């Protein structure tokens, strides 16, 4: 991976390179800067929070501040969602962390950035805990996760925990405007508002939406373009599946569901998330009906986390939609 | 169902004397409860399932007015958890000790042989401590008293052995129930149910109830289904029996007898359910039960197998949403999921490859790339088919083509 090549996705192009550039995380940044003044004092870090709030960015900034230009030499960046088993921990992380890097440059220790670490299996976490202990002289860990509760307690107690909350609306709008200016495009104020509203505090999502909208209508992003981009961002199948279910056609709706699982490889919770989004866009349902259906989605979203097989929960959810669709058809 | 109560509940013994068989064990237990517990505070009842261990304890509570504090295998039994529940329950004697209403607490630890070694760390040790300090009687029950880990328990307990209940006693009891429930049954039929139970009273009553509900007059012929079920039922037979069940208990019995894999069964029921219930309202209700069954399956995981009864209970309820409406239909097989995954494998692999490239560039996982990046990049490519981001992500022409066609299936 070449570093000097200019990034073309704006999420990368405008990713802050040092802690001073980071948006809207004042308290966290100040604490981290204190560590940077004397790197030996930095403990292992656990960065927790919802997606798109700057956790990975902050971790990469720390790597740059610690090691400068050659940060990649001294940093092992792994994504636990891709490699979640114990083997990765035992092989790659262990090998990387146990040797001192002092001979290769003026660096205090090596750095392991483990993204989405809450996806790691229990045994892998237990193994990691040992390694964190035995390699503390030669290596520091930055663990990144959405839910710190899924990280085993012994690891939590070995880390300084930083919680990233939803980014501030205003800061997000300002950041989008700043990017638009750099890219020489006009961004209508209501368009920026729409993007931020739709992204629910996820800056990565917002920047992607902005870039796509800028391609759609060259040089000028207005509210209409944004709505169009947002509308097309989710697969058509989800819309069609929802419509079929509400029409009482359970069997066809379920066929679409299996296509989403099969061809896209979507997880159950991702399908539920998209169903919820699509539901809000359906025009032939009243606000009350949408609220009722959203309640039902919520219940099954929870059962998904408890159950063993997401196919069953999704099928059951579609059956609920088919029932409500039928009752509605009868009352009209 | 003729009535909502399961017969095992309805005919649960109210007094120790009413518990079937095991006369020696019962009198030893009574003796302990009345006299010996001053010297030995705890007792361990052991023996095969369904022979009256729990029944004796419940009957004693009923007869002598103890309040039972129970912990069974469904509770976590680490040292901490045991102390939390059992500690307060055993460390004081009820104020109304001398009143006739209550003799205070009685700690009942059911299925102590189910205390898992690793999960319930310190559990056995904690029980011993509780027994030593307890001011109230402690009763434990186990199927297998020879387990290594229970050995320390045996030192602080009186041991009472429960045996299989003799067949003639079970037959007499079944006849008694038939009379009360106005069920006509051949003697040979009851004999067969009793023999088939191998001395397990609970399963005998359950069998009687499920057979009695399916047949007006119970004949020996009707009981043939018992041994047949006991052997092995294939997936198709299980599904057929399940979907055509005339009552909740018939479905439940069938499920507990079938030897097909639970997960396969749940998925097959899920696949075929819309063919069984055409009406969306009934379908939604049945699916809700299936969904609950899946939640129980999730809680069972790899070790909490004692929760399996709740899984079966939910599943059985799905069969009994509208029992009269069954019409035979052709089962879907193999499972829809497997067929779909087979036909879509190429697409899935292609998408995964694309997501891996994007993830590497943008510091995200494949999963995040799929959900957060692909939808937008697909749109950018639709507008600019030769966008420079193609090279930046190192996408092949085939991959670009794939992204462009994603919405068209």
Choose the closest CB to B365 out of A81, A251, A254: A81
ipTM: 0.79
Give the count of domains, chain B: 4
Strand order of the sheet with strand B157-161?
A: B67-71, B105-109, B138-142, B42-46, B157-161
- Quick: pLDDT tens for B39-53: 777 888 988 878 888
- Quick: pLDDT tens for B122-154: 667 777 777 777 777 888 888 765 656 667 777
pLDDT value of residue B147: 57
Is residue B2 situated within a structural domain?
no
Contact status of A250 with chain B (Cβ, < 8 Å):
yes
Do the chains contact at A265 and B352, CB–CB below 8 Å?
yes
Domain boundary, last residue among B334, B355, B372: B334
Is residue B259 located within the same domain as residue B275? yes
Per-residue pLDDT averaged across A286-312, rounded?
91
- State the nearest Cα–Cα gap between A29 and chain B, in angstroms: 20
> Looking at A34-48, A50-64, A188-202, B299-313, which range is the least confident one?
B299-313
**Could you tell me if A75 and A113 are in contact, meaning their C-beta atoms sit under 8 angstroms apart?**
yes
pLDDT value of residue B165: 86
Q: What is the DSSP letter of A260?
A: I
Q: Which residue has the higher pLDDT, A20 or A263?
A: A20
Is residue B47 situated within a structural domain?
yes
Domain boundaries, position B372: 344-405
3-state helix, strand, coil in chain A (%, to 5): 65, 10, 25
Is residue B16 located within the same domain as residue B154? yes
In this prediction, residue A2 has a pLDDT band, given cuts at 50, 70 and 90, of: very low
- State the nearest Cα–Cα gap between A292 and chain B, in angstroms: 15
pLDDT value of residue B314: 93
Q: How many CB pairs under 8 A join A and B?
A: 180
Tokens of B297: 């399956």
Chain B residue closest in CA terms to A202:
B372
- The pLDDT of residue B341 is above 80: no
How far apart CA A245 and CA A242 sit, in angstroms, is 5
Q: Which of residues 200-239 of A touch B (CB under 8 A)?
A: 204-205, 208-209, 211-212, 215-216, 229, 232-237
How far apart CA A54 and CA A72 sit, in angstroms, is 19
Q: Which helix (H) or strand (E) holds B43?
A: strand B42-46
Tokens of A260: 């989403």
Chain A residue closest in CA terms to B390:
A8
Is residue B315 situated within a structural domain?
yes
Q: Is B342 exposed, middle or buried (0-12, 13-18, 19+ CB in 10 A)?
A: exposed
**Could you tell me if A62 and A142 are in contact, meaning their C-beta atoms sit under 8 angstroms apart?**
yes
Domain boundary, last residue among B196, B211, B231: B231
Per-residue pLDDT averaged across A211-230, rounded?
88
Choose the closest CB to B295 out of A254, A261, A307: A307
Is residue B62 located within the same domain as residue B174? no
Helix A26-37 to helix A55-67 angle, to the nearest 10 degrees?
A: 20
Is residue B18 located within the same domain as residue B76? yes
Choose the closest CB to B376 out of A233, A248, A327: A233
**Could you tell me if B106 and B61 are in contact, meaning their C-beta atoms sit under 8 angstroms apart?**
yes
Is residue B1 situated within a structural domain?
no
Chain B residue closest in CA terms to A80:
B365
Percent of chain A with pLDDT over 90: 42
Is residue B152 located within the same domain as residue B21? yes
Is residue B98 located within the same domain as residue B211? no
pLDDT value of residue B3: 54
Is residue B156 located within the same domain as residue B169? no
Chain B residues touching residue A326 (CB < 8 angstroms): 280-281
pLDDT value of residue B229: 39
- Quick: pLDDT tens for B102-113: 567 788 887 776
Is residue B395 situated within a structural domain?
yes
pLDDT value of residue B101: 47
Is residue B251 located within the same domain as residue B329? yes
Chain A residue closest in CA terms to B405:
A235
- State the nearest Cα–Cα gap between B109 and chain A, in angstroms: 28
The full set of domains in chain A, from first to last, is 10-164 (3.40.50.300), 169-233 (1.10.8.60), 236-331 (1.20.272.10)
How many H helices and E strands in chain B? 21, 7
Interface test with A, best of B267, B277, B279, B283 (most A CBs within 10 A): B283
**Could you tell me if A306 and B295 are in contact, meaning their C-beta atoms sit under 8 angstroms apart?**
yes
Domain boundary, last residue among B120, B138, B161: B161
Q: State the CATH number of the domain containing residue B132.
A: 3.40.50.300
Is residue B198 located within the same domain as residue B298? no
Q: How many residues does chain A have?
A: 332
Contact status of A16 with chain B (Cβ, < 8 Å):
no
Do the chains contact at A8 and B389, CB–CB below 8 Å?
yes
Count the Cβ atoms, other than its own, within 10 Å of residue B323.
Answer: 15
Q: Which of residues 115-134 of A touch B (CB under 8 A)?
A: 115-116, 119
- The pLDDT of residue A112 is above 90: yes
Count the Cβ atoms, other than its own, within 10 Å of residue B387.
Answer: 17
pTM over 0.80: no
pLDDT value of residue B103: 63
**Could you tell me if B106 and B69 are in contact, meaning their C-beta atoms sit under 8 angstroms apart?**
yes
Tokens of B225: 């289904």
Residues with Cβ within 8 Å of B120's Cβ and at least 6 positions away in sequence, in order, are: B76, B77, B78, B81
Is residue B339 situated within a structural domain?
no
Percent of chain B with pLDDT over 90: 17
The angle at the Cα of A312, spanning A306 to A318, to the nearest 5 degrees, equals: 110
pLDDT value of residue A1: 42
Is residue B195 located within the same domain as residue B288? no
Main-chain dihedrals φ then ψ at residue B303, nearest 5 degrees: -135, -25
Choose the closest CB to A309 out of B266, B336, B348: B266
Helix A250-259 to helix B336-343 angle, to the nearest 10 degrees?
A: 40
Is residue B390 situated within a structural domain?
yes
Burial A270-285 (b: 16+ CB within 10 A, else e): bbbbbbbebbeeeeeb
- The pLDDT of residue A208 is above 60: yes
Per-residue pLDDT averaged across B353-382, rounded?
90
- Quick: pLDDT tens for A120-164: 888 788 888 888 888 888 899 999 998 888 888 888 888 899 999
How far apart CA A246 and CA A294 sit, in angstroms, is 13
Chain A residue closest in CA terms to B291:
A313
Is residue B197 located within the same domain as residue B296? no
Is residue B306 situated within a structural domain?
yes
- The pLDDT of residue A73 is above 60: yes
Mean pLDDT of chain A: 87
Choose the closest CB to B274 out of A12, A251, A262: A251
Is residue B19 located within the same domain as residue B126? yes
**Could you tell me if B79 and B89 are in contact, meaning their C-beta atoms sit under 8 angstroms apart?**
no
Choose the closest CB to A1 out of B347, B356, B360: B360
How far apart CA B124 and CA B157 sit, in angstroms, is 13
How far apart CA B187 and CA A182 sit, in angstroms, is 92
Choose the closest CB to B340 out of A261, A303, A306: A261
């Amino acid at each position: 991976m070449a570093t000097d090549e200019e990034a073309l996705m704006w999420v990368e192009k405008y990713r802050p390179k040092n802690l001073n550039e980071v948006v809207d995380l004042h308290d966290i940044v100040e604490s981290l800067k204190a560590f940077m003044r004397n790197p030996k004092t930095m403990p292992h870090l656990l960065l927790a929070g919802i997606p798109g709030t700057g956790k990975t960015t902050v971790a990469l900034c720390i790597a740059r501040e610690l090691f400068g230009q050659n940060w990649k030499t001294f940093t092992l960046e792994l994504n636990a969602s891709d490699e979640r088993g114990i083997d990765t921990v035992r092989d790659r992380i262990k090998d990387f962390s146990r040797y001192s890097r002092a001979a290769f440059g003026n660096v205090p220790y090596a750095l392991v950035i483990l993204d989405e670490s809450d996806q790691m299996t229990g045994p892998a976490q237990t193994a990691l805990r040992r390694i964190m202990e035995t390699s503390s002289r030669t290596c520091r860990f930055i663990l990144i996760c959405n839910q710190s509760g899924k990280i085993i307690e012994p690891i939590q107690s070995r880390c300084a925990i930083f919680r990233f909350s939803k980014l501030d609306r205003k800061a997000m709008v300002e950041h989008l405007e700043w990017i638009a200016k750099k890219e020489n495009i006009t961004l209508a104020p209501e368009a920026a508002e729409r993007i931020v509203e739709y992204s629910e505090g996820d800056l990565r999502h917002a920047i992607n939406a902005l870039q796509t909208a800028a391609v759609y209508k060259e040089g000028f992003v207005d509210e209409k373009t944004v709505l169009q981009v947002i509308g097309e961002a989710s697969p058509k199948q989800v819309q069609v599946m929802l419509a079929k279910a509400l029409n009482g056609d359970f069997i066809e709706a379920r066929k679409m569901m299996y296509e989403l699982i099969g061809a896209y490889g979507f997880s159950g919770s991702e399908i539920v998330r998209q169903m919820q989004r699509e539901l809000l866009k359906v025009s032939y349902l009243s606000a009350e009906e949408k609220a009722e259906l959203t309640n039902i989605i919520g219940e099954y979203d929870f059962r998904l986390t408890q159950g063993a097989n997401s196919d069953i929960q999704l099928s059951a959810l579609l059956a609920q939609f088919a029932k409500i669709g039928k009752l509605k058809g009868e009352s009209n | 169902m003729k009535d909502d109560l399961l017969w095992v509940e309805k005919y649960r013994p109210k007094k120790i004397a009413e518990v079937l068989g095991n006369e020696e064990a019962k009198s030893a237990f009574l003796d302990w409860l009345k006299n010996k517990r001053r010297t030995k505070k705890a007792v361990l009842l052991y023996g095969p399932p369904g022979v009256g261990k729990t029944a004796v304890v419940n009957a004693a509570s009923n007869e002598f007015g103890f309040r039972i504090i129970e912990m069974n295998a469904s509770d976590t039994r680490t040292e901490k958890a045991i102390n939390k529940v059992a500690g307060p329950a055993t460390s004081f004697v009820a104020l109304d000790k001398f009143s006739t209403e209550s003799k205070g607490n009685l700690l009942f630890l059911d299925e102590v042989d189910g205390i898992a070694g690793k999960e319930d760390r310190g559990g056995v040790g904690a029980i011993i401590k509780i027994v030593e300090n307890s001011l109230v009687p402690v009763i434990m029950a186990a199927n297998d008293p020879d387990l290594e880990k229970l050995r320390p328990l045996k030192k602080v307990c009186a041991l009472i052995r429960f045996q299989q209940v003799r067949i003639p006693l079970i037959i007499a009891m079944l006849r008694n129930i038939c009379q009360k429930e106005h069920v006509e049954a051949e003697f040979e039929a009851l004999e067969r149910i009793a023999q088939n139970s191998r001395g397990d009273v609970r399963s005998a009553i359950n069998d009687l109830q499920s057979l009695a509900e399916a047949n007006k007059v119970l004949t020996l012929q009707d009981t043939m289904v018992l041994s047949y079920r006991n052997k092995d039922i294939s997936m198709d037979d299980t599904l057929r029996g399940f979907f055509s069940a005339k009552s909740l208990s018939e479905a439940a019995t069938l499920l507990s007898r079938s030897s097909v894999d639970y997960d396969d069964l749940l998925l097959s029921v899920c696949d075929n359910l819309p063919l069984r219930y055409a009406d969306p309202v009934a379908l939604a209700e049945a699916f809700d039960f299936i969904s609950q069954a899946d939640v129980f399956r999730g809680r069972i995981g790899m070790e909490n197998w004692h929760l399996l009864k709740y899984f079966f209970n939910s599943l059985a309820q799905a069969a009994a949403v509208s029992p009269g409406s069954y019409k035979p239909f052709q089962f879907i097989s193999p499972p829809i999921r497997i067929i779909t995954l087979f036909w879509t494998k190429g697409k899935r692999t292609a998408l995964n490859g694309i997501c891996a490239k994007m993830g590497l560039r943008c510091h995200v996982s494949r999963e995040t790339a799929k959900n957060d990046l692909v939808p937008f990049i697909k749109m950018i490519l639709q507008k600019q088919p030769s966008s420079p981001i193609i090279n930046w992500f190192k996408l092949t022409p085939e991959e670009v083509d794939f992204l462009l066609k994603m919405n068209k299936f």
